[in-house]
C-alpha cells in the first residue's frame, strides 16, 4: 500500500523557504505506519559490499526538508551503511509532513523497507502537549549496543526525550553527529540563533550535556564556509537519472532562493550550494571527510533576549566540562562531491 | 529480605533541614528492588470497606522526607484508598535515600506489599546524566485509564518525563494534586522560590503546561497559613501507638527546628505544625477537605535572577491559557486533624 | 501668561485607563517653562502655621494622572509642608502631558508659583534617546542638605539618573517615599509587575540599591488593601468646593472604571477607592499615618519572562543587604480621610 | 606639584593580567586634581602643524592600563590632534589607579597640561553607590559642538551617564570610536563576553542605542586578527628613547604573558602584539587606517547565562534599527606601525 503513495515532487524546502504544497489529508499516516511496521529489512536491492555485521549502523533523526532529503540519499547510496531506522521530529515542517516527506525520499530510492518512526511534534517546553512519542530510538540503540552512529539533522527534541527516558543510551552509542548550532553568534533564524537549536533550545542543551559519546557537530557557519559551487550543483542535478531528477525537482525552489541577492547578502557568509544536513551525514559515514576540526566544550544559552538557543563554545575552559565536542572546520570537497554524485546514480 | 531492613528512626528531614544520617551502603537497593518486584498486592491487612473497584486509585510521587512520610501514612490509613504504587524522585535527599525512606515508612505501616519505583535522580536540565528512569508511572496510569489520581509531593521531574514519553497520560488521569509552588513570591529556598519548583523549574513548567487533567495545587503559602497548633501536634505524637511513635521519632528534629525563632521569623507566615505534603495528599483523598479555593491559570518563571522557579498566577488572563489550576486557599482543619489521628492508629 | 492656561477638566487617568483628550499643540510648553523659571516662591496664599525653617521640605517626582493629582492636592493642603518643586517623569502619559497635567493641578489650587521641571521622557534602556533632562532634582537636594523628603509617584527614571549624576544626593536626602512595586507578585500591568516599576525596571533597581536614605514604599497590594469605601469617596467629591469639583471632574472616568466588575474581579484584591500615589505622599507628610509596616531588604528582578520589574523582598536575608526598606502595611484610614477632606477645602 | 608625582614604571596591565603594584596612598588625588584644574592648555611643546582651529579635537575616555597608555601616546604624537581632555572610568583597575596611571602617561610625555577628569567608579547597576561623577565630558562636547571625536577605550559607563544627563551630546559629537565588544561570541572575560562590554553591559547597551553619531567599533576579534608581529614589537621597544623605555617598562609583564602558551591557546585567534585600545584611537585620528569595514546594526545582550554583555550584530536586520555602526575588519598595518613608532620618538 505504501508503494502507492503518490510521488509528488513537492518536498518541503528548508527554512526559511518552507512551502506547504500538500494538503493535510494527502497523508494516509495510519496505513503508512502499519506498512512500515511490517516492512522487513531484507530488501533485495541492498548491495552488500561488506558482510552485514561489518556495516556501519546508522540511525537518522530528521525533519525532512530538502537538505535532509539529500542527506538521506547520500546515506542510502553507501553500500557499507545499514540504516536501522529513521526517526522524525518537528522542525522544517509539522511532524506529519516530515513523515510524508521522509517516505517520499525512501520511495524515490525504492527503499520503503527502512522503518520510519514518528517522534516529537513539539519542542520540550512547547505550551501544548504533543500527541505521541515513539520509543523506537531507544530500542534501536539498545539492540545494538556500541554499534550505532546517530545522525541528527533536526531539532534535538527526540534525542533529549530519549536520553531522559533511558540515560544509558548515551553510553551505548558509537557516535553522535549533529547538524545544528553556530560557532560565531551568526544567526539564520533569530539574530544570534541557528534554526535547529533555536527550535528547541532546552533539547539542544540536554543533548550537549548528556550525550557523552563522541560528538561531532556541523554548525551553520561551517556549512556556509564549505558550500559547493553553484556550477557544480547544476552539473549534479543534470545527471538525468531518476534520483537526480527527484533531487532537482525538490531543490528547484530552495536553490533559486538561495541564489537570490537577499539571501546572499543577509544570511550566509559563504556563497554556494549548502546542503547543510548532508555535512553531518557525510561526516558520519566517511571518517576522512573532515580535514580540519577543533575539540571544545560546548553548551547552549537558554536565556537571553537575542541569544536564546545560541551554541556557546568554552574556548577558555571556564565551564570545566570534561566532555568536548568535535567542531567541524573544513571538508574534503572532492570527497563530498563524489558522495553527492553517488547518491543520484 | 525486605522485612529485615533495619527500622532506624532516621528519616531525612525536609529541606532546609536535610540531614543524612545513614551511610550509603546501608541501602541494599538491589535486594529491595527484587523484593518489591515480587511483592503482591494482596496483603491481608487492607481493610476493605469498599469493593476494590470503587476505591480511589492513587499513585504517589514522592521525595520522602518527614512530611512525605506523614502524607504516605495518611493515605495508608484510608480504607477507601488503593495505592497503585509509589514513584520516587530526587529532592529532599538523593534518590537512593528517597527509596530507602519510602520503604521504611511502608515497613512501619506493615505495607511493604505496595510497589515502590525509582524515578529521576536529577532535574531535567542537570549537567550530568541521570542513571535510570522507571516507566512504571506511565504503565500504572495506562492500566487504569480515567481512574488514577496522581499526588506529587516532590520536584516534578518524574511527571515531566512521563508526559514527554507518553503525552496521552495527561488525559488518562482523573486528577493531579501537587504540593509545590508559591502564590505570593514568598520563597522558602531561593528569594522568591519554593523548594519543589526550584528543584526543577523546567519540570514544573512542563507539568503545569501539559497535564490538562483537573489540577489542584497546595502551595507553600497555603500550607503555612493552614498549619496546625503545636499543642495539637504534641497530642498527635503522644498517642503512643507504634505508628505515632514512628512519626514522633522521625519528626523530632524537624519539629524542633520548625519551632525555633529563626525559622518562625524568616520562613513562614503562619506559625505551627506544617506537614506541607500532607495537604496535597489529604485533599486528594477527601473532596471535602478544601473549603476555599481559586481557579487561575498558572505557569512557572524559567528565567530571572531572583525568580527562577517561582510559580506565576495569571489573574489578569494575560496568557490566555484555557486550562486553569485550582489553587487551594483554606482547609477544614478538624477534618485534617482527624485524618492525621487516623494515620497513627 | 501661565495663568491664562485654559483649565480643561481633562487630566489623564491613571493606567490602565489612560485617555488622551488633549491635542499636542494645546501645550505651550515654552511659555510655561519661562513662566516657571521666573516664578517666585513667595505666593501670598501660603498659610504659614510654622516658621518657614521648620516646615517639611518636599520634592515631588510625578507622572501626573488622577492619583498623582490627588496626591499633589493633599500636599498643597498641608500648611506645614513646603514644596520645593515638582519634577515630571514619563509614565501614565507622555512627558509633555505630565507637565501640562501638573500645571493644571497647580492652577486649580492657585499655586502656579511652585516650580515644575521636565525630567526624563523615556526609561533608562529605551531604544531611542530622550530629548532632555533637567538637573533641578539634584540642585534642590543639594541646596537643602539633610532636609528634603523626596516623594516619587512615577517610574523612577528621574531618580536613577539623578543618583548617577550625583551619587551623594542619596545621603543628602532626609527620606524617600515611593509609590511602586509589589509585595506578592500581584501584577497590575504585566503578569507579575506593577506599573511604575515595570515602566523602568533598571531605574527601580538603581533607586532601591543606591538611595541609602530611609526609604518607605507604598506597594500596589498595600494600596489595594487599604482602599477607602466608595460611599466615602462620593461624599468627598460632593463637597462642592472648587477643588472638590476639580477632583470630581478628573476622577469621573477612572472611578467609573475602577468600580466596574472587570476591574474588581481581575486587578484588585481590595475593593474601593484607591488613590495609590496619595498613600506615599500622605505617609511622607504625616508620620502617624502608617500604623503597621515591615523592614526588609528589597530589590528588583531585571530578567524573567513574567517577572521583569517585579519587586523582590528578601525575607530570608539571602542577599545580605544592609539597607532595608520600610514596606507599608496598614494606614490610619481616618487620618487619610481627613487629609483628603482638607485637600479639597 | 603634579610634576613631583613619582614616575614608577608600574602601570597596570590590561585584563586579565591586572596587577596592582602601587599602594593606595601613593595617589595624592586631591593635589593632582587641583593641579589639573589649573593646568592650561598652552604647553610649549605642542607642535602646531595645523592652525588650532583645523586640528582634530579628541576626548579620550580611558581605564588606563598598558594598551590605553599606548593609545594615549599615539594620540599625543600626532601634531594635528588636540586632546580636549581625558575622562577616566573604572575598568582595568579601580578609578583611583586609572587616574594615577593616566597622569603618569602624561608625565612621561611631558603633557600634564591636558585635563584629566574622574568619571564613574562603578558600573551602572553596581550594588553600591559610586562616589562622584564629573560633568566634564558633557561640558567639553557642548563647548565644541560638531567638532569632537570621542574615543572610548574603557567600559562605557561614563558615556552612558553623559547621554542620560544630556541626550543632545549624541548629536553634537562628530564621531565616536569604541574599543569593545565582540563579533563572533568569542569571549576574553566570560565565555562569550569581551571585557569592556561585560564590565558594564547596560552602559554598552545605552551607548549603542543612543549615540546616533557615526560610530566605529574596534572589537576584540578584530584587534586579535590585526595584531602585529612580536619581532616588530621588540624593535619598537628597542628604540631607546625615553618614551620607548617607558612603554617597554610598562609592557614588560603584559607582553610576557601575552606570549605565553596558555594565552595563545586560550584567548586569542591571532598571534602577536595586540594593543587593542590603540586600534580605536588610531582609527579616530587617521581616516585611512581602516582598510575594510562593515556597517551593521548592533546592540548588547543584557540577559543570558553565558552571553550577558555580548555584542549582537543584526546582519539580518531583524531589529529594524536605523542607526548602523561601522565594524572595523582590517587595518593598514604599515600605517599602524608608523603611528606606534612616532609615539615613542
**What pLDDT, in 10s, does the model give residues C161-174?**
999 888 889 999 99
Which range is least confidently modeled, B103-117, B206-220, D250-264? D250-264
- Closest of C153, C148, C76 to residue C107, by C-alpha: C76
pLDDT at residue B15 is higher than 50: no
Contact C177, C310 (CB under 8 A): no
pLDDT over 50 (residue B36): no
pLDDT at A101 over 50: yes
Active site residues of C: 63
C-alpha cell at C177: 517615599
pLDDT at A285: 94
Which of D118, D138, D161, D164 would best serve as a mutation to test chain C binding (most C beta carbons within 10 A)? D164
Q: How does residue B135 score in pLDDT terms, banded at 50, 70 and 90?
A: confident
Contact state of B161 with A165 under an 8 Å Cβ cutoff: yes
- Over range B323-330, report the average pLDDT: 97
| Distance (Å, whole) CA B37 – CA B30 | 11
Instruction: Decide if D130 and C170 are in contact by the 8 Å CB cutoff.
Output: no
> What pLDDT was estimated at residue C96?
93
Nearest to A129 among B170, B302, B321 (CB): B170
Residue of chain C whose Cα is closest to the Cα of D319: C127
In DSSP terms, which residues pair with C311 in a beta bridge? Answer: C300
Question: Which of B248-262, C56-70, C144-158 is predicted with the least confidence, judged by mean pLDDT?
Answer: B248-262
Beta strands C56-62 and B290-296: pairing type? unpaired
CB pairs under 8 A between A and D: 87
Query: What distance in Å separates the CA atoms of residue B182 and residue D299, rounded to the nearest whole number?
Result: 36
- SS3 category, A37: helix
Chain C residues close to D132, C-beta within 8 Å: 166-168
Of B164, B209, B210, the CB nearest to A161: B164
Grid coordinates belonging to C273: 477607592
- Distance (Å) from the C-alpha of residue D304 to the closest C-alpha of chain A? 4
Band of pLDDT at residue C254, cut at 50, 70 and 90: confident
Pairing of strands D298-300, B56-62: unpaired
Q: Under DSSP, is residue A307 helix (H, G, I), strand (E, B) or coil?
A: coil
Answer yes or no: do D210 and C164 touch at CB < 8 A.
no
Within 10 Å of residue B263's Cβ, how many Cβ atoms? 15
Which position has the higher pLDDT, B11 or D70?
A: D70
- Does the pLDDT at position D279 exceed 50? yes
pLDDT of residue D45: 41
Q: Residue C269 above 90 pLDDT?
A: no
How many Å lie between the alpha carbon of C311 and the closest alpha carbon of chain D? Answer: 16
Quick check: C25 pLDDT over 50? no
CB contact under 8 A, D167 and C129: yes
Rg (CA), chain B: 19
DSSP-assigned beta bridge partners for residue A175: A149
Q: What is the pLDDT of residue A267?
A: 52
End-to-end Cα distance, chain A: 26
Query: Which residues in D have their CB inside 8 Å of a CB on A?
Result: 183-188, 190-192, 266-267, 299, 301-308, 310, 312-319
Residue D36 has pLDDT above 50, yes or no: no
Residue A1 pLDDT greater than 80, yes or no:
no
Order of all β-strands in the sheet with A215-218: A116-118, A81-88, A56-62, A148-152, A173-179, A215-218, A325-331, A290-296
Contact C316 B187 (CB under 8 A): yes
Write out the DSSP string of D195-228: HHHHT-HHHHHHHHHH--S-EEEE-HHHHHHTPB
Nearest to D185 by CA among D309, D292, D295, D318: D309
A56-60, C49-53, C79-83, D226-230: least confidently modelled range:
C49-53
Distances (CA, A) of A104 to A77, A108, A238, C69: 16, 6, 21, 70
Residues of chain D positioned with their CB less than 8 A from the CB of A306 = 299, 301, 312
Q: Render pLDDT for B216-246 as a digit per residue (tens, 0 to 9).
A: 999 999 999 999 999 999 999 999 999 999 9
B96 catalytic residue (yes or no): no
Select the residue of B125, B133, B302 nearest A165 (Cβ to Cβ): B133
Indicate yes or no: CB of B306 within 8 angstroms of CB of C301: yes
Element (H, E) at D95: helix D95-108
The active-site residue out of B25, B26, B61, B63 is B63
Residue B11: pLDDT band (50, 70, 90) is: very low
Decide if pLDDT at A132 tops 90. Answer: no
Higher pLDDT: C6 or A185? It is: A185
Q: Which comes out higher in pLDDT, residue D261 or C65?
A: C65
pTM (whole model) above 0.95: no
Q: Are A101 and A12 in contact (CB under 8 A)?
A: yes
Comparing D263 with B87, the larger pLDDT belongs to B87
Q: What is the pLDDT of residue B51?
A: 73
> Which pLDDT score, from 0 to 100, does residue D265 have?
54
* Cα B69 from chain centre: 9
- Residue to substitute from D296, D316, D320, interface A, most A β-carbons within 10 A: D316
Asked which of A50-54, B50-54, D38-42 is least confident by mean pLDDT, the reply is D38-42
Residue B336 has pLDDT above 70, yes or no: yes
Which residue of chain A comes nearest to D297, CA vs CA?
A191
Q: Nearest-CA distance from A302 to chain B in Å?
A: 9
In the structure grid, which three cell numbers stand for residue B159, read together? Answer: 511527571
Over residues A145-152, the mean pLDDT reads 95
Residue C304: which of B184, B191, B304 has the nearest Cβ?
B304
Q: Which of D126, D131, D167 sits opposite C132 (nearest CB)?
A: D167
Q: Which of D184, D266, D303 sits opposite A303 (nearest CB)?
A: D303
Q: Is cis: bond before C292, omega within 30 of 0?
A: no
Helix (H, G, I), strand (E, B) or coil at D127: coil
Taking an 8 Å cut-off on Cβ atoms, the answer to whether B133 and A164 are in contact is yes
Chain A residues whose beta carbon lies within 8 Å of the beta carbon of residue B131: 167
Q: Do D307 and A304 touch (CB under 8 A)?
A: yes
pLDDT at A231 exceeding the cut of 90: yes
- pLDDT, mean of residues D115-123: 93
Q: Give the gap in angstroms from C-alpha D36 to the nearest C-alpha of chain C.
A: 21
All three cell numbers of C229: 469605601
Find the closest chain A residue to D313 by CA distance: A191
- Confidence (pLDDT) at B256: 87
How would residue A172 be classed by pLDDT, with cut points 50, 70 and 90?
very high
Contact indicator for D226, D277 with CB cutoff of 8 Å: no
pLDDT at residue B38 is higher than 90? no
pLDDT band at residue C129 under the 50/70/90 scheme: low
- Averaged pLDDT for residues B56-85: 95
Mean pLDDT, rounded, for D315-319: 92
Residue B13, pLDDT > 70, answer no
At C340, give phi and psi (nearest 5°).
Answer: -60, -45
Report pLDDT for A255.
Answer: 87
Say whether pLDDT at C46 is over 70: no
Contact across the interface for C307 and B310, Cβ inside 8 Å: yes
High-pLDDT (> 70) share of chain A, % = 81
Interface partners of D (3+ CB pairs, < 8 Å)? A, C
For an interface test with A, give the residue of D189, D192, D324 to mutate (most A CBs within 10 A). Answer: D192
Residue B269's pLDDT is what?
59
Q: What phi-psi label fits residue B207: left (phi over 0), alpha (psi between -120 and 50 degrees) or beta? A: alpha
The angle formed by the CA atoms of residues C309, C315 and C318, to the nearest 5 degrees, is 85
Where does residue C40 fall: left (phi above 0), alpha (psi -120 to 50 degrees), or beta otherwise?
Answer: beta
Which residue of chain A comes nearest to B119, CA vs CA? A165
Cross-chain Cβ contact C167/D124 below 8 Å: no
Cell, residue A323: 566532555
* Alpha carbon of D297: minimum distance to chain A alpha carbons (Å): 11
Closest Cα in chain D, distance from residue A262 (Å): 10
Please answer yes or no on whether D170 and C133 come within 8 Å at the CB atom: no
The reported pLDDT for the residue numbered B107 is 95
Q: Which of D184, D187, D318 sits opposite A191 (nearest CB)?
A: D318
Gap between the Cα atoms of D265 and D271, Å rounded: 9
pLDDT tier at D86, thresholds 50, 70, 90: very high
Average pLDDT over residues B254-277: 76
Amino acid at each position: 500500500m505504501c508503494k502507492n503513495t503518490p510521488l509528488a515532487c513537492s518536498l518541503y524546502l528548508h527554512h526559511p523557504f518552507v512551502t506547504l504544497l500538500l494538503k493535510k489529508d494527502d497523508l494516509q499516516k495510519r496505513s503508512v505506519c502499519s506498512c512500515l511496521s511490517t516492512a522487513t529489512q531484507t530488501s533485495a536491492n541492498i548491495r552488500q559490499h561488506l558482510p552485514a555485521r561489518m556495516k556501519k549502523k546508522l540511525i537518522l533523526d530528521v525533519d525532512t526538508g530538502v537538505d535532509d532529503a539529500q542527506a538521506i540519499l547520500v546515506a542510502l547510496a553507501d553500500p557499507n551503511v545499514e540504516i536501522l531506522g529513521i526517526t522524525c521530529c518537528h522542525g522544517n515542517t509539522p511532524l506529519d509532513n516530515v513523515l510524508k516527506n521522509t517516505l517520499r525520499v525512501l520511495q524515490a530510492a525504492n527503499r520503503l523497507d527502512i522503518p520510519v518512526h514518528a517522534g516529537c511534534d513539539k519542542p520540550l517546553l512547547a505550551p501544548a502537549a504533543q500527541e505521541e512519542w515513539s520509543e523506537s530510538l531507544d530500542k534501536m540503540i539498545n539492540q545494538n549496543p556500541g554499534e550505532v552512529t546517530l545522525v541528527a539533522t533536526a531539532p534535538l527534541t527526540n534525542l533529549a526525550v530519549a536520553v531522559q527516558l533511558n540515560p544509558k543510551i548515551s553510553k551505548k552509542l558509537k557516535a553522535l553527529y549533529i547538524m545544528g548550532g553556530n560557532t560565531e553568534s551568526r544567526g539564520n533564524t533569530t539574530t544570534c540563533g541557528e534554526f535547529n537549536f533555536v527550535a528547541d533550545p532546552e533539547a539542544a542543551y540536554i543533548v550537549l550535556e548528556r550525550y557523552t559519546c563522541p560528538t561531532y557537530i556541523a554548525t551553520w557557519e561551517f556549512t556556509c564556509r564549505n558550500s559547493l559551487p553553484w556550477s557544480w550543483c547544476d552539473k549534479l542535478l543534470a545527471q538525468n537519472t531518476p534520483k537526480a531528477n527527484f533531487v532537482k525537482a525538490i531543490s528547484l525552489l530552495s536553490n533559486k532562493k538561495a541564489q537570490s541577492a537577499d539571501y546572499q547578502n543577509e544570511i550566509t557568509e559563504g556563497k554556494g550550494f549548502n546542503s547543510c544536513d548532508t555535512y553531518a551525514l557525510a561526516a558520519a559515514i566517511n571518517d576522512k571527510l573532515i580535514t580540519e576540526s577543533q575539540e571544545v566544550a560546548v553548551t547552549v544559552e537558554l536565556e537571553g533576549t537575542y541569544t536564546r538557543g545560541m551554541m556557546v563554545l568554552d574556548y577558555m575552559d571556564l565551564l570545566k566540562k570534561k566532555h568536548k565536542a568535535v567542531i567541524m572546520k573544513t571538508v574534503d570537497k572532492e570527497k563530498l562531491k563524489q558522495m553527492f554524485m553517488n547518491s543520484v546514480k
